Amino acid sequence: MDSDIHMFTVNGQVSTPLTPSSLGAQSFLETKHLEQWVVDNPQVLGSDVKIVTTQYDKWSSEFGDLAKERLDVLGLDSSGQLVVVELKRGFDSRIHLQAITYAALVAGFSKETLAEAHADYLSRIRIEANSISVAKAQEKLQEHVDGEWDDDILTIPKIVLLAEQFTAQTYTTVKWLTDLTPNLSIEMRTINVFLPSGDTTDGLPCVVFRRLYPTDDPTVRVLTPGVAGADAVVTKIAERKMRVRSTYILHDNEVIPEGARLELCLRGVVNLTTVEEVENWIAGDPKRGEAVWARHRERPLRWAAEDKDVTWTPTGLARHIVTLATGINLDVIPGGDAWRYGGRTLYELANQVESAGPLP
């Protein structure tokens, strides 16, 4: 079986090729295996994706014509955007048509509908001893989303097509749709299996996920004047993704020196009453409003007020401080806007790096 991916095991100077196989030849099934791999490793769908449900079929229809429609996987990324996933072992020239239908259906979801689906899913997979309430499920989803989360963000889901290969028909249609409708985000991702060379019975197979189209993710780029007329919801999603990725960008580009001090500034981020309560609490010990930058990609902050080797996400630490200062548990604090280094927010610093390259 030919493949455009070449994989090798390496032992010093000796490299041994892995032999491409197929999911079917290895008796891997869509629901039992492929779906479970995605559930166990949602990062193959993109960064910060949480699984909401699988095999969802509780659509409402006056005529009952949607009863057999099953959405393979529904995810939620930390910007609040839904991720609709259609899985195929081998290939299916109609994979994109099914996925678009599911995307149109979930675009009508509210946060409450989503929470109901998530509660049902968690109870079904028995992640907890007792059935989980819809309110608790919604809380879990809200905790995953960074900052404010409005229903309008749910109206434009991202579509991920995941298959071993794609036909020219699918590739042409997806490219035409994305060129025609820039607000529509469709990704084609492949999954391929490889075996130790010359041995199809011993040794573990290797499964490879990769993004085929587009080659990068346009929704996480910084917006430019060229797309100023984009739909307001798409603009909001792009900006939220950028805020979520701020710490990754700053870490990867080494913008902030390890050990540097950051300052919490909640003005313009939360309501004024909360700001004043937090500032009064910080006045009792200025270290309460400071953090130290650590070389950690996901949790780069150490709180200056605690003598512990614990790192936080910018959002997590801001929420923690607000809770201690006010007793209020806020879910809508965008960490990239709450912390400042050198007078600029983490979001502003990351935005500059993405727009013009590393800071001088």
pLDDT value of residue 127? 62
> Rounded distance, CA 148 to CA 333, Å?
7
pLDDT of 63 over the 60 cut: no
pLDDT digits over 89-108, tens only? 988 888 999 899 999 999 98
pLDDT digits over 223-279, tens only? 343 443 345 676 667 666 767 778 888 888 889 999 999 999 999 888 889 999 999
Classified as helix, coil or strand, 94 is: coil
pLDDT digits over 131-189, tens only? 789 999 998 998 888 777 878 889 889 999 999 999 999 999 999 998 888 778 899 99
Q: For the residues 19-37, what does the mean pLDDT come to?
A: 92
- Reference 205, options 16, 21, 5, 6; nearest CA is 21
Highest-confidence segment of 52-61, 110-119, 179-188, 230-239: 110-119
Q: Which tokens belong to 227? A: 């797309």
pLDDT of 55 over the 80 cut: yes
pLDDT of 48 over the 90 cut: no
Q: Which residue has the tokens 């905790």?
A: 143
H-helix segments, the chain: 36-40, 95-106, 111-124, 134-144, 168-180, 232-252, 272-283, 314-326, 335-338, 346-356
Phi and psi at residue 153, in whole multiples of 5°? -65, -25
